[in-house]
């Protein structure tokens, strides 16, 4: 026992730090918050027959409208249409008072990044699922987790410059710095 | 056996060995770099829906059409309106920095009383008492608007004076007005009918008259410039001929042009070489009709001789009375109960500040316009009785407002409905509205609203403007150019005055190109009071913040 | 972006420039350049578009002057700033020909400022500072820069990107040239600046650039600028060819 004391203590310290680094560190580094309304994409896709572009569209000027404004929701949900608690919250807390919902953006990029949905969707023919996953089948929205130090969301880690470069390289599409930066 | 220090050390070393195998150091390094991207003092442009809104720049009398690029409710940039009937698609440096004027550091949002913030009610009470007790006057630094007519109306109704200042740019035209018994506002320069513009120190290719109009004629070669100036100003540098007459010798050039003296004498008096003078005379006379204008600031006799050069040339015209009807404000109902309809006086009838006797005013209101105005404080002060007060109505604590007894904060650029009446040089009457593109801050009140409040006037700005639009509609003259689709429609195509008002509010300009004009004859007024209170037309108390590019970060200076 | 390559360039009519500076203000507004702090001077300020006043240096009575808008010449051959940058913070964009400066990569060595023969590059000596609330007037299409980096004219890349977005919305890879007008071109009240694709032989800018009256600044350096000038005055052309001392003509020298 004595002989292995050093090895044991060393391994113990090693293991503890591994655990702290891989489990404890992410837990403390990322803050979490819920979205103001727990939106159910699936119901809207199935029952309302909506497609992605019905709420997340590209204008004629080529600007992506992003997370929809309240008017989008209020168009149908002036009064609760179903029985869910979430919808009641939507109508009572946001639609009736006319307050814009402060959605937290998962994919916010640094200020010097120019990403054009118009180019990628219309010209690149990328489906929404390719980058955002099968969002349409989800019944809840993900917990929003934000890196306390950098200020970016945890989800943005899968949308970094190297991810863009990989896809561009795969498809043989050159962009140059000017293509993606502003 | 307990844990020793060595044990803790071993534990620590084990932990340290594991650190590079965890995300901790790598993520922290990465994150501190990203953290530096989100520091609070890093400027963040606004986010939101992008749109374009149309309006008119009212920083100077030209009234050029503008497009404003917006993000949400914020203005982020200004662009010109091509094919605009007044501005011809031109804009000056002021317009491009104008969207930042509402945030100028000199901006005030609370009334100032002797330099200290005061509540609006206190200030209103004090000024109203003084205006009631004594003689008040309203100095309008932007005459010709429907709001100007409202000032005249309330001055007439409540025993006050309506005043306008003389400006450098309109010196020659004012002489013509005085000498012909007409109003300055009815006159214009027939620039399209002349081939050469002889400028005595007027910054004709800088900020002068309606710049878009001048540039359009100049760049096509239709209008050439002969600049008489001691200094190589920008206009002199760009002119076809620069006659560097010694300061004070301009009168000899006027005499030369009039044929009263010969080249040799003119050369000797002015210091300009004979061959240059001869060349210039040939140039001017060979090209055809020409117009002489003064930049102002010369002695009366010199101004008269310059104005006299245009006698009989037909280059200075007056709009005939019938076509001036569209410019007159229609009958406006009295807001007071059971009142009769009253006629609003013609907005072109002015009283000149220069002609007001010294020390005759108790309360002098000054509507400074959007850039804080330009008449000097000393010249104003002399008109005010001892113990009287100067009330500046301006968005900024600058210029006269920095010295006035009271300053009332008014809306800044694009914060309130404003008007662009016919520019002083124009031959065709025109009118445009500048809709509010931004919300004014809570403390701001329009100049007319404030003066109404303290004098008992009852015609608010929007009512006056609607009445003006109503009169344009009723006169059935002219056409309307809408900025969004760049289409021109006759006024008669609009169904109602509110319909026309709506078009103006989304970017439109009315112009009457068929307005008849008559040539004006000039007779020098031999014994008239000299205009002692002369302001530079485009003098301003503040500039757009980005003007440091011109004044400080380069050597190009202002236009 | 796949597709045709372009060579965006300009022809500036010096005889039509009135020196008003509208282009300078419009450029600063479009590119989120801050108003200068009190200690900035003409050497330490930031003017990606800058109008210089030049003269024929004759005696005052015979003096002639013109105004020369100077911006990044977008050098097409052996681009000096690109070749010296240790960070590859500037590159010649293959698709548009624009020499694109990325301040976020810049480490502030200012080697490029030394290398640029046209003095068209500017260093952020201070953090930009706007009066309270004025940040609401910033253009979201252009990233702000902090102190310590170099910036210059990028031919209003934000407008090019918007033009591409608009074309993509209609499913097109090629932009409509009317949608891409840099701020200075749009601002000029006399229309002295013509802008477009020099590689498109039928475009107005290409025709004007080919005109024998058009010339470029310091042509013997071989930088092949994409910004051309034209003037009927021989001395302006002479000055462009050989360069000269920095803007002459002090205000005091202009009065008799």
Residues of chain A found within 8 Å of residue C161, distances taken between Cβ atoms: 114, 116, 178, 182
| pLDDT at site B188 | 95
The span from the CA of B2 to the CA of B454, in Å, is: 90
Chain B residues near any Cβ of chain A (below 8 Å): 7, 10-19, 21-24, 27-28, 30-32, 34-35, 37-38, 44-45, 50
- The 3-class SS string of B490-534 reads EHHHCCCHHHHHHHHHCCEEEECCCCCEEECCCCCCCCCCCCCCE
- Which residue is closest to C17 within chain B, CA to CA? B238
Of B77, B549, B558, the CB nearest to C47: B549
Angle at B164 between CA B161 and CA B170, to 5 degrees: 155
Please state, for a pLDDT cut of 90, what percent of chain C lies above it: 89
Q: Is C165's CB within 8 Å of A181's CB?
A: no
Q: Is A178's CB within 8 Å of C162's CB?
A: no
Segments in chain A below pLDDT 70: 1-3
Segment holding C164, helix H or strand E? helix C157-169
Question: Alpha-carbon Rg of chain C, whole angstroms?
Answer: 18
- Which residue is closest to A174 within chain C, CA to CA? C1
| pLDDT at site B181 | 83
- B252-262 b/e (C-beta count within 10 Å ≥ 16 → b): bbbbbbeeebe
The span from the CA of B83 to the CA of B364, in Å, is: 41
Q: Work out the burial of residue B264: count CB atoms within 10 Å of its CB; fewer than 13 is exposed, 13-18 middle, 19 or more buried.
A: exposed
Write out the two tokens for B416. 């309130």
pTM of this structure: 0.94
Nearest to A180 by CA among A125, A99, A81, A114: A114
Q: Is B18's CB within 8 Å of A17's CB?
A: yes
C-alpha distances out from residue B283 to B195, B225, B262, B287, Å: 10, 10, 16, 6
Residues of chain B found within 8 Å of residue A111, distances taken between Cβ atoms: 37, 44-45
Residues of chain A found within 8 Å of residue C165, distances taken between Cβ atoms: 61-63, 116, 118-119
Write out the two tokens for B313. 């040339």
Query: Quick check: B113 and B122 in contact, CB under 8 A?
Result: yes
- The 8-class DSSP code of residue C35 comes to P
| pLDDT at site B530 | 60
Name residue C101's beta-bridge partners. C90
Nearest to B458 by CA among B222, B157, B236: B157
Q: Assess whether pLDDT exceeds 80 at residue C254.
A: no
At C147-173, the pLDDT tens digits run 999 999 999 999 999 999 999 999 999
Please state, for a pLDDT cut of 90, what percent of chain A lies above it: 49
Segments in chain B below pLDDT 70: 1, 320-350, 526-533, 537
| pLDDT at site B540 | 85
The span from the CA of B478 to the CA of B55, in Å, is: 20
Segment holding B481, helix H or strand E? strand B479-482
Q: Is C157's CB within 8 Å of A58's CB?
A: no
Average pLDDT, chain C: 93
C-alpha distances out from residue C166 to A173, B79, C69, C176, Å: 20, 19, 30, 9
Segment holding B432, helix H or strand E? strand B430-434
Distant-in-sequence, close-in-space partners of B552: CB < 8 Å, separation ≥ 6: C36, C40, C41, C42, C45
Neighbours of B195 (CB within 10 A): 17
Write out the two tokens for B308. 């006299």
- The 8-class DSSP code of residue A153 comes to B
Window 36-95 of C, Cβ < 8 Å to B:
36, 40-42, 44-47, 50-53, 60-61, 63-67
- Which residue is closest to B101 within chain C, CA to CA? C134
Smallest CA–CA separation between C100 and chain A, in Å?
6
Start-to-end CA distance of chain A, whole Å, equals: 63
Write out the two tokens for B18. 């594991």
| pLDDT at site B3 | 80
Chain C residues near any Cβ of chain A (below 8 Å): 1-2, 91, 93-96, 98, 100, 102, 104, 141-144, 154, 157-158, 160-162, 164-171, 173
Compute the count of residue pairs across chains A and B with CB atoms less than 8 Å apart: 87
Q: Assess whether pLDDT exceeds 80 at residue C63.
A: yes
At C198-216, the pLDDT tens digits run 999 999 999 999 999 999 9
Q: Touching check for C148 and chain B: CB below 8 Å?
A: no
Q: Is B34's CB within 8 Å of A147's CB?
A: yes
Q: Touching check for C12 and chain B: CB below 8 Å?
A: no
Residues of chain C found within 8 Å of residue B74, distances taken between Cβ atoms: 136-137
Confidence of residue C127 (pLDDT cuts 50, 70, 90): very high
Q: Is C171's CB within 8 Å of A122's CB?
A: yes
Write out the two tokens for B275. 């061959």
- Which residue is closest to A171 within chain C, CA to CA? C2
Q: Is B7's CB within 8 Å of A63's CB?
A: no
The span from the CA of C231 to the CA of C212, in Å, is: 10
| pLDDT at site C153 | 98
Q: Work out the burial of residue B402: count CB atoms within 10 Å of its CB; fewer than 13 is exposed, 13-18 middle, 19 or more buried.
A: middle
Chain A residues near any Cβ of chain B (below 8 Å): 5-6, 9-18, 20-22, 25-26, 29, 61, 63, 110-111, 147, 149-152
The span from the CA of B151 to the CA of B451, in Å, is: 8
């Amino acid at each position: 026992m004595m002989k292995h004391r050093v090895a044991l203590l060393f391994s113990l310290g090693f293991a503890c730090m591994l655990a702290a680094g891989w489990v404890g560190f992410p837990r403390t580094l990322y803050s979490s918050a819920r979205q103001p309304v727990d939106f159910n994409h699936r119901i809207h896709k199935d029952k309302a027959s909506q497609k992605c572009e019905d709420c997340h569209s590209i204008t004629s000027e080529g600007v992506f409208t992003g997370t929809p404004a309240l008017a989008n929701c209020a168009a149908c949900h002036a009064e609760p249409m179903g029985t869910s608690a979430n919808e009641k919250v939507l109508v009572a807390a946001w639609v009736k008072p006319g307050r814009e919902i402060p959605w937290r953006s998962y994919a916010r990029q640094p200020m010097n990044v120019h990403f054009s949905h118009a180019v990628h969707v219309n010209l690149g023919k990328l489906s929404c699922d390719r980058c955002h996953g099968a969002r349409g089948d989800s019944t809840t929205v993900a917990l929003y987790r934000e890196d306390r130090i950098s200020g970016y969301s945890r989800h943005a880690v899968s949308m970094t410059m190297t991810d863009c470069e990989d896809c561009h390289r795969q498809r043989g599409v050159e962009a140059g710095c000017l293509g993606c930066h502003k | 056996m307990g844990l020793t220090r060595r044990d803790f050390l071993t534990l620590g070393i084990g932990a340290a060995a594991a650190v590079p195998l965890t995300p901790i150091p790598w993520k922290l390094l990465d994150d501190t770099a990203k953290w530096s991207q989100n520091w609070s003092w890093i400027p963040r442009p606004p986010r939101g829906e992008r749109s374009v809104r149309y309006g008119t720049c009212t920083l100077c009398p030209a009234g050029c059409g503008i497009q404003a690029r917006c993000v949400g409710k914020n203005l982020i940039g200004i662009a010109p309106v091509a094919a605009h009937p007044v501005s011809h698609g031109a804009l000056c440096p002021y317009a491009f920095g104008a969207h930042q004027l509402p945030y100028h550091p000199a901006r005030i949002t609370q009334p100032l009383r002797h330099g200290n913030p005061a509540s609006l009610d206190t200030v209103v009470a004090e000024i109203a008492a003084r205006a009631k007790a004594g003689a008040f006057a309203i100095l309008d630094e932007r005459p010709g608007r429907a709001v100007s007519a409202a000032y005249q109306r309330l001055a007439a109704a409540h025993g006050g004076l309506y005043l306008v200042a003389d400006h450098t740019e309109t010196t020659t035209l004012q002489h013509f007005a005085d000498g012909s018994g007409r109003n300055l506002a009815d006159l214009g320069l027939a620039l399209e009918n002349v081939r050469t513009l002889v400028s005595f120190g007027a910054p004709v290719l800088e900020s002068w008259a309606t710049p878009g109009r001048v540039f359009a004629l100049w760049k096509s070669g239709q209008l050439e410039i002969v600049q008489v100036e001691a200094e190589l100003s920008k206009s002199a540098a760009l002119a076809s001929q620069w006659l560097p007459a010694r300061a004070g010798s301009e009168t000899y050039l006027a005499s030369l042009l009039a044929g009263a003296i010969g080249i040799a004498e003119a050369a000797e008096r002015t210091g300009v070489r004979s061959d240059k003078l001869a060349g210039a005379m040939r140039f001017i006379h060979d090209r055809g009709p020409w117009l002489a204008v003064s930049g102002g600031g010369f002695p009366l006799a010199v101004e008269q001789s310059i104005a006299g050069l245009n006698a009989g040339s037909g280059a200075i015209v007056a709009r005939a009375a019938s076509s001036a009807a569209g410019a007159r404000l229609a009958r406006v109902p009295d807001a007071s109960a059971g009142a009769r309809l009253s006629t609003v006086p013609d907005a072109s009838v002015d009283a000149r500040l220069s002609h007001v006797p010294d020390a005759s005013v108790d309360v002098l209101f000054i509507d400074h316009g959007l850039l804080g105005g330009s008449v000097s404080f000393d010249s104003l002060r002399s008109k005010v009785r001892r113990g009287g007060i100067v009330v500046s109505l301006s968005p900024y604590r600058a210029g006269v407002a920095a010295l006035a007894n009271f300053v009332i904060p008014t809306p800044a650029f694009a914060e309130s409905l404003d008007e662009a009446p016919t520019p002083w040089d124009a031959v065709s009457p025109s009118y445009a509205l500048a809709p509010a593109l931004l919300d004014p801050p809570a403390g701001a009140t329009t100049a007319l609203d404030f003066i109404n409040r303290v004098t008992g006037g009852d015609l608010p700005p929007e009512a006056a403007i609607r009445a003006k639009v109503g009169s344009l509609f009723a006169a059935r003259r002219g056409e309307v150019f809408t900025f969004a689709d760049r289409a021109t429609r006759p006024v008669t195509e609009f169904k109602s005055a509110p319909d026309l008002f709506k078009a103006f509010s989304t970017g439109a300009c009315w112009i009457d190109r068929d307005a008849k004009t008559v040539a004006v004859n000039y007779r020098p007024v031999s014994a008239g009071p000299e205009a002692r209170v002369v302001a530079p037309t485009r003098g301003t108390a503040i500039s757009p913040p980005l003007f440091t590019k011109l004044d400080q970060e380069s050597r190009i200076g202002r236009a | 972006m796949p597709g045709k390559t372009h060579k965006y360039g300009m022809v500036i009519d010096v005889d039509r420039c009135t020196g008003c500076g509208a282009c300078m203000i419009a450029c600063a507004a479009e590119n989120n350049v801050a108003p200068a702090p009190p200690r900035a001077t003409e050497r330490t300020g930031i003017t990606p578009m800058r109008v210089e006043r030049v003269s024929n240096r004759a005696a005052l009575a015979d003096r002639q002057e013109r105004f020369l808008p100077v911006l990044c010449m977008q050098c097409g051959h052996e681009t000096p700033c690109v070749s010296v940058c240790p960070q590859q913070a500037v590159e010649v964009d293959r698709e548009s020909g624009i020499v694109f400066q990325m301040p976020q990569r810049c480490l502030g060595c200012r080697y490029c400022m030394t290398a640029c023969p046209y003095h068209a590059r500017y260093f952020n000596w201070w953090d930009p500072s706007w009066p309270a609330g004025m940040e609401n007037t910033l253009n979201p299409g252009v990233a702000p820069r902090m102190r310590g980096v170099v910036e210059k004219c990028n031919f209003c890349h934000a407008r090019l990107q918007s033009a591409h977005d608009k074309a993509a919305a209609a499913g097109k890879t090629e932009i409509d040239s009317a949608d891409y007008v840099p701020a200075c071109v749009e601002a000029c009240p006399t229309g002295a600046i013509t802008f477009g694709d020099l590689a498109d032989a039928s475009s107005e800018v290409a025709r004007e650039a080919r005109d024998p009256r058009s010339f470029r600044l310091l042509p013997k350096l071989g930088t092949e600028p994409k910004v051309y000038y034209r003037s009927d005055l021989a001395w302006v052309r002479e000055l462009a060819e050989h360069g000269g001392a920095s803007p002459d003509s002090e205000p005091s020298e202009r009065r008799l």
